[in-house]
């Protein structure tokens, strides 16, 4: 899970010339890809705060699940197999009911994916002017990669197909509904809430794409933003066909304008967007069948152009314009 | 850096039967020691909050240095060589001056120890009732270990010597002075502030002890608490001689009672406490010389007894009683 505006902070304050014995192949990627001298590992870290990444009313089970899921999604985007994670929690006070629920959701996904909790730290956050700080969660997850392999954002080539897994826009629509901005029918709302609260990291798909995709990212900031990172790192552009973008039946119950906003600018879906040569189409379709993952071709990689290098058009040729999206904690 | 009372939270909510392909040799230790199938690594994680682990007035440079130092100290306690770290920062607002200072202190220690920053995440913490949350920092550090090696808390045997590096109690005395509880002369205060604000992880010593020590921990919670963890994990007891405990000249300017409180119960020194057989004495003294580290024998490991298994006596045989110490964020 990377957030567009934060790149500036990382770039400005924490970028440095390489030193030391371990170096990352994936700077600015979903994961660091590290050759330890005795094997290749992928590592990712995410910090999340209740009230920023989770609604204050979110159930602790869902927070636990999703806190790990967003990290596993980064491993999936690198094609890595999850092995271990490390957890830090900052709490304003010890709250056993919250911790129990959080642990239940967290460990359910950990056990399901074979990602063991091998260390952690808890700390109490100080009150400020008598007000309690929000719960803060930081997870660092590690995965294994075959020697010399690992998917990154760079590598997309003109002529490549652009693929996306699952459907996009669901989590954003659920959030809009929960905020009261959009109105959904009860059945549709329930389906979308499940997508927002319990995202499924595409681990099996990521591994299957190791020898097929030329570039890959998960969709945390939105399709436009995350595909945009691939294009930027690869020095290429892209043309997308709006009608090809996979939209769930629940999201289809909204206006086309809302669908476009959700699917192109909304984040938090934790699907994978990736590029691959046309020659890999059949094997990619097979990978989708084998991993029980819906895969859709949504456009083509083009030669790089400066400025806006991603165009989304409808069948009739009209340009679909939505904000670049990508939630920026520090914007404004 | 582990904090006594938090063990309860980790034990109760986040302990589980082993699963998955990676398992830790160091559960409950300063580091997880993991065989990845292609090499052995040590991993540690710490979360720190300004106002809890750092005084609200602490300089950002010092916060950056110390945030990494406490993690490197955990690697030192395992005998691991630092290789990479991952950083998450939760900020109430983007503050470039703070970030610049923080980064300067952090990267100075990173470059000095060859520990590269290979990934990170920043997040904005939400205001609660219009009040800004404290800055929260989470670091996960990784180090390399030779195959089959790594220091843990378990392994101390009756008859072993107990050693400590450097001097103990300095950081606690500095904190007491800054709080206005204790009065220090200006020169002494300056020396102790340096120890509190810029701790030196004992990395070279930790590596040198890999083939010599039977058990090791860093001193984050205090000598009594951290040696206590070694004794508990090893199922042994210990007798310490108070006069042998290494005290800095600055700390000696305080009353003996204050010295005892600081040296035995105070934490945050990031020295190493370790056990080793008498047969290793000469080689340990050589390791101290080679790594330019003062090493002092302070007592002996005894047969384990239930209940209070650590006794500190003066030359005259009187028992020195201080609180077990170990700062507990969730106590009371």
The residue ranges of chain A whose pLDDT is under 50 are: 1-4, 331-332
Q: What is the pLDDT of residues A272-286, one digit of tens each?
A: 999 999 999 999 999
Which chain B residues have a beta carbon less than 8 Å from that of A111? 16, 19
Any idea where the domains of chain B sit in the sequence? 6-145, 161-313
Q: What is the pLDDT of residues B127-150, one digit of tens each?
A: 776 777 788 999 999 999 999 999
Distance from CA of B170 to the nearest CA of A (A): 23
pLDDT beyond 60 at B165: yes
pLDDT-derived band at B27, boundaries 50, 70, 90: low
Distance from CA of A317 to the nearest CA of B (A): 39
Q: A32 near A43, Cβ under 8 Å?
A: yes
B98-102, B157-161, B273-277: lowest mean pLDDT where? B98-102
Which chain A residues have a beta carbon less than 8 Å from that of B44? 86, 119
Give the A:B interface size as CB pairs under 8 Å. 271
Q: What is the pLDDT of residue A307?
A: 61
Nearest residue in chain B measured CA to CA from A22 = B83
Nearest residue in chain A measured CA to CA from B34 = A118
Nearest residue in chain A measured CA to CA from B14 = A103
CA dihedral A45, B85, A206, A70 (to 10 degrees): 0
pLDDT-derived band at B6, boundaries 50, 70, 90: low
B154-168, B229-243, B314-328: lowest mean pLDDT where? B314-328
Q: Which residues contact B202 (CB under 8 A, 6 or more apart)?
A: B73, B76, B165, B166, B218, B270, B271, B272, B291, B293
Q: What is the pLDDT of residue A264?
A: 96
Q: B203 near B82, Cβ under 8 Å?
A: yes
Distance from CA of A255 to the nearest CA of B (A): 31
Q: What is the pLDDT of residues B29-53, one digit of tens each?
A: 889 999 887 789 999 999 998 888 8
Name the 3-class secondary structure at A162: strand
Picking from A31, A34, A136, the nearest residue to B90 by CB comes out as: A136
Q: A87 near A137, Cβ under 8 Å?
A: yes
Q: What is the pLDDT of residue B208?
A: 98
If you average pLDDT over residues B152-171, what whole number do you get? Answer: 97
Report the alpha-carbon distance of residue B45 to residue A99 in Å, rounded.
Answer: 19
Tell if the CB–CB gap between A47 and B117 is shorter than 8 Å: no
Query: What does CATH list as the number for B6-145?
Result: 3.30.1330.10
Distance from CA of B85 to the nearest CA of A (A): 10
Closest CA to A291 of A216, A208, A195, A167: A208
Fold (CATH) for B161-313 = Phosphoribosyl-aminoimidazole Synthetase; Chain A, domain 2 (3.90.650)
If you average pLDDT over every residue of chain B, what do you get? 89
Q: What is the pLDDT of residue A324?
A: 62
ipTM for the complex shown: 0.85
Residue scoring higher pLDDT (B51 or B80)? B80
Q: What is the pLDDT of residue A126?
A: 72
Q: What is the pLDDT of residue B2?
A: 42
Picking from A94, A121, A144, the nearest residue to B36 by CB comes out as: A144
Tell if the CB–CB gap between A41 and B45 is shorter than 8 Å: no
Q: What is the pLDDT of residue B296?
A: 98
Which chain B residues have a beta carbon less than 8 Å from that of A102? 13
Q: What is the pLDDT of residue B146?
A: 93
If you average pLDDT over residues B96-122, what whole number do you get? Answer: 93
Distance from CA of A120 to the nearest CA of B (A): 6
Tell if the CB–CB gap between B123 and A53 is shorter than 8 Å: yes
pLDDT beyond 50 at B3: no
């Amino acid at each position: 899970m990377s957030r567009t505006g934060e790149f500036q902070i990382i770039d400005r304050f924490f970028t440095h010339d390489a030193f030391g014995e371990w170096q990352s192949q994936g700077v600015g990627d979903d994961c660091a890809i590290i050759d330890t001298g005795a094997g290749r590992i992928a590592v990712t870290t995410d910090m999340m705060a209740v009230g920023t990444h989770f609604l204050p009313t979110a159930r602790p089970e869902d927070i636990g699940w999703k806190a790990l899921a967003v990290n596993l999604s980064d491993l999936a985007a690198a094609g890595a197999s999850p092995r271990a994670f490390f957890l830090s929690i900052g709490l304003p006070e010890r709250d056993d009911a919250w911790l129990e629920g959080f642990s239940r959701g967290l460990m359910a996904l950990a056990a399901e994916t074979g990602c063991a909790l091998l260390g952690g730290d808890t700390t109490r956050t100080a009150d400020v002017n008598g007000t309690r700080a929000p719960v803060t969660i930081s997870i660092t997850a590690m995965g294994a990669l075959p020697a010399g392999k690992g998917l990154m954002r760079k590598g997309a080539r003109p002529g490549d197909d652009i693929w996306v897994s699952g459907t996009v826009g669901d989590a954003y629509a659920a959030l809009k509904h929960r905020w009261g901005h959009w109105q959904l029918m009860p059945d549709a709302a329930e389906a979308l809430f499940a997508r927002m609260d319990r995202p499924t990291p595409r681990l099996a798909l990521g591994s299957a794409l190791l020898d097929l995709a030329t570039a890959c990212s998960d969709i945390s900031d939105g399709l436009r933003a995350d595909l945009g990172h691939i294009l930027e790192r690869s020095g290429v552009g892209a043309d997308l066909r709006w009608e090809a973008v996979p939209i769930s039946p629940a999201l289809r119950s909204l206006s086309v304008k809302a669908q476009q906003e959700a699917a192109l600018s909304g984040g938090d879906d934790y699907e994978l967007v990736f590029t691959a040569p046309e020659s890999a189409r059949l094997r990619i379709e097979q990978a989708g069948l084998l991993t029980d993952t819906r895969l859709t071709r949504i456009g083509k990689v083009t030669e790089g152009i400066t400025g806006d290098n991603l165009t989304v058009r409808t069948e009739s040729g009209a340009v679909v314009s939505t904000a670049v999206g990508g939630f920026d904690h520090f914007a404004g």
